[in-house]
Structure 1
Amino acid sequence: MGRKPTPSCGCSPTNAERQDPAEITATDVLLEQKRTLEQLNAWFELALNNMVRGLSMFDSEQRLIVCNRSYRQIYELPEELTQPGTHLRDIVQYHLRQTTGRDCTLDEARFSDWLSTHLAKLAQGQSFTQVQNLRSGRTLLVTYQPLADGGWVDIQEDVTEKRRAEEKIEWLAHHDALTGVANRFYFRETFEHALKGLGKGCTLALHWLDLDEFKEVNDTYGHPIGDALLKAVAQRLRSCIRRTDFLARLGGDEFAIIQSGAGRSEQCERLAKRVLAAVGRPYNILGNVITVSASLGVVRAPVHGRTPDELLKNADVALYNVKSAGRRGFELYNRDSNRQIMAQRRLELDIHSALSRDQFQLHYQPILSLHSHNVVSCEALLRWAHPHDGLIAPTDFLPVAEKTGAIVDIGRWVLHQACRDATHWASELSVTVNLSLLQFESGDLASVVEGALSAAGLPSNRLELEISEGLLCRDKGRLCDMLHELRELGVGITLDDFGQSTGSLSSLRSFPFDKVKIDRALVRAHPAGNGDNAAMVRAVASLADDLGIGTVAEGVETIDELNTVTRAGCKRAQGFYIGRPVPAAELGAVLMECAQRHTCAA
């Protein structure tokens, strides 16, 4: 009767019901902390293994504490070598064997030296970096961060692509992107360094090379073909030089070769001849067979100069001599020729100012009709009254004017002045003016001609324009269009120097010529009319007559030559026998004398 009553459900109390409330709270906290720590460890491992950079941590005994997936992949380590406690020596030994492909043993002495240096840097307490070039071709930038207990953390960054980009930028800064050889900047740097390094008795040579008529290749085939040709030329130049020589493209079609150890002129000449032979062989560029030649100016240091500027100037002088002599060759600099070049350069400078200083004059030479025996036209011939050199002949300065481009402005002045002068002549007299290649290439020739006629008030049928036969090898379609455009203005078109080159006959049908001038070489070869040249003059005159084209015999200097071209069927004649070129002020007297002489002869 004295016992306590049991619960009506018949169940005994559980352990949880018997625990103290304080104990229940502590257990929950520990479980929560464990779960939190596990979550943090999972997050840490996730972050660690998703790093792009490799990471590893070593203790003071050089044993691995932890590393991430990128570290294992970079060094291609197996799982067992990425476990905590793995010694650095074992990791290095494995990586060495994997990369060499041989079962080689770690060089303990070298590893010990590296480790001692490594630990000494860590002992300084500051982070530092090293570059590792792996045998696989990859480049790593490794940053080491020391730990307080003597260990360290290292981070491996793969900088392979970055280094390649930097190397590419560095390469482009020193090389020509088209041909792959050194550029002008690198050439100058190398040339200056080579000259400073010349010891007593040491020499070098500079070959300054320029392709002949490269512009014509671009104009004819287009710039892609021209670029391909430059690449091919650079490859051939590489094959001509030694490893100790230096090749650069200076821009356009200019190249330079620094020839080391060129103690004798013969060595320079041998290389120059190899270069000329190599460059001069035909090229097959995208199905086009192209042939170019080269011109070289060669100087030796210190014989021809000690500074880069002096040597470059003298090389340019030698190159200029080659080009002036007809190109396709080389010249070793000669100090005596420098005076001639300086005089030529002075002429080039003077010609630019000659027009503005009214130094040019026009002389006129009569052209005789062999039918009426009257002067029917006068050819305008340019003269230069140089203030120091006197009257300079066209053959001495016109090539310079062509080269410098001054001929375009000079030619414009000639057209205007000749039209003005012709307005003072008898109305039956026309004026003949020569045109240059550059005037055609300027693109505004027709408007210049029209402007000259309009400004002078000269009827267009009193102007005749002469073009050289050499122009016909240019862009025939464009030239033909321009000649038709000039013909539409009403001016006459004459082909000059006919018979100097092949293809002359076909050009008579291809272009709208009113007259042809038979070259003086055919007219003057056999003045008595005996020989093949007289027959050629007759053939040309007959063909031109069949085509409705007039003929002018050029260079007639004797009565026999005049009779020859007359019998051959030429329509007109010009030369010293007809009348010499004179200034406009003296032309009236010459025309009167000419009329009296040829009227009596008729």
Structure 2
Amino acid sequence: MDAETLFRQQCTSAVGGDGSANAERLVDLVVETYRLQAGKTRATEHRFQRLSHDTDRLKGTLAETTAKLTEQRRLFQIVLDNLPEGLSVFDAEQRLIVCNTRFRQLFGFSADDASSGASMGSLIGKVRGTERVEQKISRLRDASPQGGHIRHREWMMDDGRTIRSVITVLPDGSNISIHADITEDRKAAERIAYLAHHDPLTGLPNRISLRERIDAALLGRKPDEQIALVHLNLDRFKSINNTLGVSAGDKILRQVAERIRMSAGAGNVLARLGSDEFAILQSGRQQPWNVTALADQIRRELSEPFFRGEKAVELSVSMGIAISPQDGTETDVLLKHAGVALSHAKSSGGKGERFFTADMEAQIEARHALEADLRKAVEREEFELHYQPLYDLSQQRICGFEALVRWNHPTRGRVPPLEFIPLAEEVGLVVDIGRWVLRRACRDAVYWPEDIKVAVNVSAIQFTDSDLPGDVAAALEEAGLTAGRLEIEITESVLMENLDEALPILHVLKQRGIRIGMDDFGTGYSSLSYLRRFPFDKIKIDKSFVNGIVEDKEAFAIMRAIILLGDALGMRVTVEGVETAEQMALLRSEACDEIQGYHISPPRPAVEVPYLLSQLPEHERFKAG
């Protein structure tokens, strides 16, 4: 029985239960009232239940939100404290709101020093360093004229660090700052700036810096002042790198730079322009006397040997000098004219200085034109070989020929070897020319009688800048010539400049059966010592010793001594420059082995070799080619 039925029975019993209409209506009214009240009560209970549920849900949401905020705050602090740069935030009253660990580390603040509410003034007072003047101020975009802006400041700390602060000032006066240690960046920038104007090997100003110094000197030159520019270049320094190695060469360059620095003194500007090139800028009066004295001092300093361990290295220097205002009032012109003068010093054999003159420029332009033509000549093989006989005095016959290169220019005509061979050595073409001479000489000699040899001169540069044994082997193989018929002639300079590298190459060639001769014997300082170092097959006495042997007893005595020396060492002796029958007869009486000179024959084209050989009945019939 439900509650409402029970309540009705109770109400009926209470009113007497007589079944009258009035009693029934009264019971219905009371029951209806009960029903309404019970409904309200249930609705209220439902509302309370829903409210309780909503409250529980809100409590859960609040707890979850609180947990999330706590986690976000924790993550924010982790991120803040692990930023690579310092961060600080100050309010409008310039009191610290928040900062990170890196901020405290950069400035050496403790946690108490940089706590919330600390004033900016108190923190600045605790910085162990000096604040630089603000470097840059820029206004914030979209800010009012009285509003926000950005400031850049630097702090030079007592421990040597440099800290940069970028401060963003907001319109209300508060600010957010980023702080970074830029010490290494600043050092790197300074290093880059230094290297942009200095040579890293010697520490001297470089070409860029020299131009700036020349610009300044010319701009500030007084009417009675002269400015001298000296362009220096070490003679044949490349051979040192090739023989001793680049590392040893760099050490010697540093020593060279120090010696020139000491000679130049503090009043002049010394710069390194390239590998073995330097320049000195000298300002003052009394030119050219002052710069001449400077050049003399430098030459003396560099003439003293340089040592690598116990090995002595000797150097010489060439110098070109231009003086302003007479040689130019612009930097480019002065540099150009000093370079032109240097080129003339180098082409004159080096080991000296040359002052710029007006006619030098025309000469250097002609030289450049000759160089361009020489490069074309190498490509087009515009050369030919002439052959000068080597005459055996005991057998009274031609025993060989020396190959001498000639250049037949299409418009210049015959260019003398003394003009183009030094140029070819200077610009690096002598290797290609020397390789061509070897091939051509071997191809020509293969058609000569078997007992006729061919002698080829080899430059010192071919020992350092090419594979000489490989070139010789290729020439012999291509022509089909036996090694014993080829004779390589070298001058003393080959051994003076490249002894450690040249000797092994000479031994390789000799082991292959190729004959080795020393040319121009007696003209150098160390010829005798080299005869002890290497077993030459032949020594050639320079023609300067021949001129006076008939009339001059001393010249004859020297010639006789050299012939006896060659005989004692088992080396054949060839005398160059024999031009008279008297000279030939005297040399035959002294048992000289070979002679060479115009008395026998001047150099002849290859096509005339058969004619020269045919004049001697001892020779076989010339081979057809």
Given the two structures, how large is their TM-score scaled by the length of structure 1? 0.77
Residue deviations 1:227-284 (CA, integer Å, cap 9, x gap)? 1222333344445557786544332112234445679444544554454455555445
Residue 414 of structure 1: aligned partner:
437
Deviation for aligned residue 1:90: 4.0
Partner of 2:584: 562
Contact 1:237–1:278 (CA under 8 A) maintained in structure 2: yes
Mapping of residues 572-587 of structure 1, within 5 Å = 572-586=594-608
For the pair 1:128 / 2:113, whether they are aligned, the reply is no
Select which of 593, 598, 620 maps to 1:571.
Answer: 593
CA–CA distance in 2 between the matches of 1:436 and 1:138? 59
Unaligned runs of 5+ in 2: 1-51, 619-625
The change in CA–CA distance for 1:410 and 1:56 in structure 2 (over 3 A counts) is closer
- Aligned partner letter, 2:602: R
- The answer to whether the Cα contact below 8 Å between 1:523 and 1:565 also exists between their aligned partners in 2 is no
Shift of 1:554: 1.9
Counterpart position of 2:234: 211
What percent of counterpart residues are identical?
A: 38
Q: CA deviation at 1:317?
A: 0.9
Matches within 5 A, 1:446-525: 446-453=469-476, 455-456=478-479, 458-476=481-499, 478-487=501-510, 489-525=512-548
How far off its partner does 1:130 sit? 0.5
Partner of 2:32: none
Aligned to 2:322: 299
How far apart are 1:286 and its partner, in Å? Answer: 5.8
Q: 1:208–1:315: 8 Å Cα contact kept in structure 2?
A: yes
Unpaired segments ≥5 residues, structure 1? 1-20, 101-105, 597-602
1:320 Cα shift? Answer: 1.0
Measure, in 2, the Cα distance between the counterparts of 1:502 and 1:479. 18
Deviates more, 1:33-42 or 1:331-340: 33-42
Is the deviation greater in 177-186 or in 334-343?
Answer: 177-186
Decide whether aligned partners of structure 1 residues 569 and 83 sit closer, same or farther in structure 2, where only a CA change above 3 A counts: same
Distance in 1 between the 2:286 and 2:119 partners? 61
Match of 2:402 in 1: 379
Is residue 218–residue 226 contact of structure 1 (8 Å, CA) maintained in 2? yes
Provide the aligned length of Structure 1 versus Structure 2.
Answer: 560
Aligned residues of 1:209 and 1:294 also touching (Cα < 8 A) = yes
Structure 1 residues 63 and 269 mapped into 2: Cα distance closer, same or farther (>3 Å)?
Answer: farther
Tell me the residue number matched to 2:572. Answer: 550
Q: Kindly provide the amino acid, as one letter, of the partner of residue 594 in structure 2.
A: R
- Quote the residue 1:5 is aligned against: none
**What's the secondary structure of 2:434's corresponding residue?**
helix
The reply on whether 1:92 has 2:110 as its aligned counterpart is no
Aligned-partner Cα distance in 1 for 2:103–2:206: 42
Matches within 5 A, 1:37-436: 51-77=83-109, 82=114, 86-95=118-127, 98-99=128-129, 124-136=146-158, 137-147=160-170, 149-187=172-210, 190=212, 194=216, 197=219, 201=223, 204-239=227-262, 246-259=269-282, 264-284=287-307, 289-355=312-378, 359-422=382-445, 425=448, 428-436=451-459
- Alignment match, 1:15: none
Contact preservation (8 Å) 1:123, 1:146: no
Structure 1 residue 160, shift from structure 2 partner = 1.9
Q: What are the Cα deviations for residues 347-372 of structure 1, in whole angstroms up to 9, with x where unaligned?
A: 32222233555643433323222212
Say whether the 8 Å CA contact 1:432–1:464 is kept in structure 2.
Answer: yes
State the 1:542 CA deviation. Answer: 2.7
Match of 2:550 among 523, 527, 532: 527
User: What is the CA–CA distance in structure 1 between the aligned matches of 2:125 and 2:171, rounded to whole Å?
Assistant: 27
Residues 225 and 286, structure 1, Cα contact 8 Å, conserved in 2? no
Task: Check 1:462–1:58 CA distance in 2 against 1; reply closer, same or farther (3 A cut).
Answer: closer
What CA RMSD, in Å, does the superposition of the two structures yield over aligned residues? 4.4
Do 1:143 and 1:154's aligned partners in 2 also have CA atoms closer than 8 Å? Answer: yes
* 1:414 counterpart letter in structure 2: V
Deviations 1:292-342 (A, max 9, x none): 333222223453235544333322211112222332333332112223333
Kindly indicate whether the alpha-carbon contact (under 8 Å) linking 2:242 and 2:464 is maintained by their aligned counterparts in 1. Answer: no
Matched letter for residue 542 of structure 1 = L
Q: Distance in 2 between matches of 1:461 and 1:43?
A: 89
Question: What SS does structure 1 have at the residue aligned with 2:549?
Answer: coil
The letter for the 1-side match of 2:580 is: T
After alignment, is 65-74 or 203-212 more displaced?
65-74
1:118–1:270 Cα change, 3 Å: farther
Change (3 A) 1:231 1:129: farther
Residues 476/68 of structure 1: CA separation in 2 closer, same or farther (3 Å cut): closer
User: Structure 1 residues 379, 282: closer, same or farther in 2, change over 3 A?
Assistant: closer
Structure 1 residues 59 and 303, CA gap change in structure 2 (3 angstroms): same
CA distance in 1, matches of 2:119, 2:477: 99
What is the CA distance between 1:181 and its match in structure 2?
Answer: 3.1
| Comparing 312-321 and 333-342, the one that deviates more | 333-342
User: In 2 relative to 1, CA 73–450 (structure 1 residues): closer, same or farther, beyond 3 Å?
Assistant: closer
Partner SS for 1:402: helix
Contact kept, 8 Å, 1:122 with 1:152, in 2: the verdict is: no
CA contact (8 A) 1:122 1:145 kept: no
Query: Structure 1 CA distance, aligned partners of 2:379 and 2:72?
Result: 89
Post-superposition shift, 1:572? 1.8
Amino acid at match of 1:363: H
Equivalent position SS for 1:251: coil
Task: Please say if residues 341 and 354 of structure 2, whose CA atoms lie closer than 8 Å, have aligned partners that are also in contact.
Answer: yes
Letter in 2 for 1:60: A
Asked if 1 retains the 8 angstrom alpha-carbon contact of 2:243 and 2:500, the reply is no
Query: Cα distance, 1:567 vs. partner?
Result: 2.7
Cα contact 1:295–1:319 (8 A) shared by 2: yes
Judged with a 3 Å threshold, the aligned counterparts in structure 2 of structure 1 residues 358 and 566 are, in CA distance, closer, same or farther, namely same
Q: Which amino acid aligns with 1:310?
A: V
Which residue pairs with 1:17 in the alignment?
A: none
In structure 2, what is the Cα distance between the partners aligned to 1:589 and 1:206? 58
TM-score after normalising by structure 2: 0.74
Structure 1 counterpart SS, 2:454: strand
Q: Structure 1 residue 437 and structure 2 residue 464: aligned?
A: no
Alpha-carbon distance, 1:132 to partner: 0.8
Contact 1:528–1:564, Cα closer than 8 Å, also in 2:
no
Stretch deviating more after TM superposition (412-421 or 401-410)? 412-421
- For 1:555, the aligned partner's letter is G
Taking the aligned partners of 2:384 and 2:60, their CA distance within structure 1 comes to 116
